[in-house]
A = this chain, B = another copy of it.
Amino acid sequence: MIATVDVHALPPARREVLAAERDLSAAVSGRFSTRSLDRLSYARDLWPLALVWIREGRIPPPPDAIVWPGADDEVAALIMRAREHRLPVIPFGAGSGVCGGTVAVRGGLALDLKRFDRIGPVDPRARTVEVGAGVLGETLERRLEARGWTLGHFPSSIATSTVGGWLAARSAGQCSSRYGKIEDMVLSVRGVFGTGERFTTPERPFAGPDLAQLLLGSEGTLCAFTSAVLRVHPRPEARFLRAFDFPSVEVGLEAIRRLFREGLRPAVVRLYDPFDTAFVGRSNDAAGSPTPPSRRDALGASVVPAFLRTLAAQTLGRPRLVNPLAHLARRARLVLMFEGEAKACEADDAAAAASCRLFRGTDLGESPARHWYQNRYAVNFKLPRLMEAGTFVDTFECSAPWDRVLDVYERVRAAASAHALVLCHFSHAYADGCSLYFSFVGAASDAQATEARYQRLWRNALGAALSAGANVSHHHGIGLLKAREYQDSLGEGRHVLAALKRHLDPDGIMNPGKLGL
């Protein structure tokens, strides 16, 4: 994709950065670059709007330089010098965010943390591991699994996101119903404030204000994380998968709610609405899964007739006509997975199946669920390709308590359906509620029209979700994209956040513009 961008169109690095190069570079043992290709690489994350820009040959605001510190002291020294020179500092993991959380709106220094790549030994009694912020998710999980452990954190970005990014944006993995979100796995965090001061939060604080929970989710605006002590679990002995079809989204949601009310804790709970059921089947195929053809269509094809899918694909420019077709295919598919000790899993799987049958769920057995499992990261590689192909795709996620989930679902669909084809699945469920994960698919023939549509779509969808009682984000974070709505959602709390910002980042250099700060 970068090939379509003219490197020479890159604005030159700011003079003040070049002037301070020796000083800044010394802070990080010379690992400092202002090369165009580096700056271009760090100019974007996976924010779809930036992808639209790049497709049009426009470059998102790049950082002026990239630095690669290798120790907490270097991060502290770098931030101190950035303060002196009043240069923005943008903590950077692997750039897989989708809300523009690392876009260098005021230039400055991309602080790449990948050299914080240490994975400590697992403490088998405490069941903890200390991990550097720059460790990639997949690397960590593979290493843990080789030793008989798991973190239990499987975001679909696992191959392209870091521990530091997870901490900064309150990441959720596909098994969050069992293991929690990353903030639930953290025992303590370490890093450097925007003052240049190093910190380590106390482990498991039970008294006093919880400072770790204050820093988690701060998306680089208050501090840079360098490592964390995380809770680990023994590798599950067994994994039970099962899929169900429900007569409607509403009934499917009731069934999930009931599972949690019964005290069951599946690792994975995903309910797909009719359109998403159909497209998940398609897109998993497109991602080149090694699944044999007989299984390929297992998830989807039976739910939405082929002609409907074809129609949808051919009428992206007329979403107002296509969206109502969802009502023709009302069935919603649920994927459940239990993992842990074999006996307990088997019992839970049986209990869940019995409970789902009470809600008129058709038990489809293991196969469609296993298909999902085998392709569970595929969606991550699909999006840029679709964007290249001229389609406009974005995902929008939020969460809501059980009493408001259906209302949020319906109002977002209504708000977005004029602008794009709307798919939704309910991807992370808890005792209190669940997350809603919408995909918007639209035509993108004309660049300016696409951006205008993107903005309209986002503001409408997010406004509808919030007015129905949704939380602004479940796990994608805030970034630039949801900054305004996030600030609004804080009420008087926004002054607290602003005060923290002033204290922890007195020069306002830490990742400017994100979270509305």
Given contacts A206-B181, A473-B207, whether A432 and B478 have CB atoms under 8 Å apart is no
Taking Cβ atoms with an 8 Å cutoff, the residues of A that contact B are: 123, 125-128, 169-170, 172, 181, 183, 187, 193, 197-211, 213-219, 222, 231, 262-263, 340-341, 344, 399, 401-404, 431-433, 435, 471-478, 482, 486, 489-493, 495-497, 499-500, 502-504, 515
Residues of B contacting A211 in the complex (Cβ-Cβ under 8 angstroms): 214, 490, 493, 496-497
Residues of B contacting A401 in the complex (Cβ-Cβ under 8 angstroms): 126, 128, 187, 203-204
Q: Which of A197, A203, A435 has the most CB of B within 10 A?
A: A203
Smallest Cβ distance from A176 to chain B, in angstroms? Answer: 10
New A-B pairs, 18, CB < 8 Å, besides A200-B491, A201-B491, A208-B515? A126-B432, A127-B432, A128-B401, A183-B210, A187-B401, A193-B492, A197-B495, A199-B493, A199-B496, A202-B489, A203-B401, A208-B473, A210-B214, A210-B216, A231-B431, A496-B504, A499-B499, A500-B500
Q: Is the CB of B215 within 8 A of A209?
A: yes
Roughly how many angstroms separate A205 CA and B491 CA in the complex, as a whole number?
A: 13
Given contacts A210-B210, A403-B123, whether A205 and B492 have CB atoms under 8 Å apart is no
Q: Is the CB of B496 within 8 A of A503?
A: yes
Given contacts A471-B206, A490-B202, whether A499 and B500 have CB atoms under 8 Å apart is yes
Q: Is the CB of B490 within 8 A of A207?
A: no
Roughly how many angstroms separate A208 CA and B482 CA in the complex, as a whole number?
A: 11
Q: List 13 A-B contacts (CB under 8 A).
A: A199-B491, A199-B492, A202-B489, A206-B399, A206-B475, A207-B217, A207-B472, A208-B218, A209-B217, A209-B222, A210-B216, A263-B341, A500-B503
Roughly how many angstroms separate A269 CA and B204 CA in the complex, as a whole number?
A: 19
Q: Which of A204, A216, A404 has the most CB of B within 10 A?
A: A204
Roughly how many angstroms separate A476 CA and B172 CA in the complex, as a whole number?
A: 32
Q: Is the CB of A207 within 8 A of B170?
A: yes
Q: Is the CB of A208 within 8 A of B213?
A: no
Smallest Cβ distance from A418 to chain B, in angstroms? Answer: 27
Q: Which of B127, B214, B344 contacts A209 (CB 8 A)?
A: B214
Smallest Cβ distance from A506 to chain B, in angstroms? Answer: 10
Residues of B contacting A403 in the complex (Cβ-Cβ under 8 angstroms): 123, 125-126
Roughly how many angstroms separate A491 CA and B211 CA in the complex, as a whole number?
A: 11
Q: Is the CB of A263 within 8 A of B496?
A: no
Chain B's closest residue to A99 (CB) is: B207
Residues of B contacting A205 in the complex (Cβ-Cβ under 8 angstroms): 217, 471
Chain B's closest residue to A348 (CB) is: B263
Residues of B contacting A432 in the complex (Cβ-Cβ under 8 angstroms): 126-127, 187, 204, 231
Smallest Cβ distance from A303 to chain B, in angstroms? Answer: 28
Roughly how many angstroms separate A475 CA and B206 CA in the complex, as a whole number?
A: 7
Chain B's closest residue to A493 (CB) is: B211
Q: Is the CB of B209 within 8 A of A213?
A: yes
Residues of B contacting A473 in the complex (Cβ-Cβ under 8 angstroms): 206-208
Q: Is the CB of B433 within 8 A of A204?
A: yes
Chain B's closest residue to A257 (CB) is: B125
Residues of B contacting A172 in the complex (Cβ-Cβ under 8 angstroms): 206
Q: Which of B169, B183, B204, B499 contacts A471 (CB 8 A)?
A: B204
Q: Is the CB of B204 within 8 A of A210?
A: no
Q: Which of B123, B187, B206 contacts A474 (CB 8 A)?
A: B206
Roughly how many angstroms separate A200 CA and B493 CA in the complex, as a whole number?
A: 8
Smallest Cβ distance from A395 to chain B, in angstroms? Answer: 15
Residues of B contacting A217 in the complex (Cβ-Cβ under 8 angstroms): 205, 207-210
Residues of B contacting A170 in the complex (Cβ-Cβ under 8 angstroms): 206-208
Residues of B contacting A490 in the complex (Cβ-Cβ under 8 angstroms): 202, 208, 211
The list of the 6 closest CB pairs from A to B, nearest first, reads A499-B503, A207-B473, A125-B403, A213-B213, A199-B492, A126-B403
Q: Which of B128, B204, B209, B216 contacts A216 (CB 8 A)?
A: B209
Residues of B contacting A344 in the complex (Cβ-Cβ under 8 angstroms): 263
Chain B's closest residue to A215 (CB) is: B209
Chain B's closest residue to A195 (CB) is: B495
Roughly how many angstroms separate A2 CA and B282 CA in the complex, as a whole number?
A: 77
Roughly how many angstroms separate A278 CA and B504 CA in the complex, as a whole number?
A: 51
Q: Is the CB of B203 within 8 A of A471?
A: yes
Q: Is the CB of A202 within 8 A of B477?
A: no
Roughly how many angstroms separate A515 CA and B181 CA in the complex, as a whole number?
A: 29
Residues of B contacting A201 in the complex (Cβ-Cβ under 8 angstroms): 491, 493
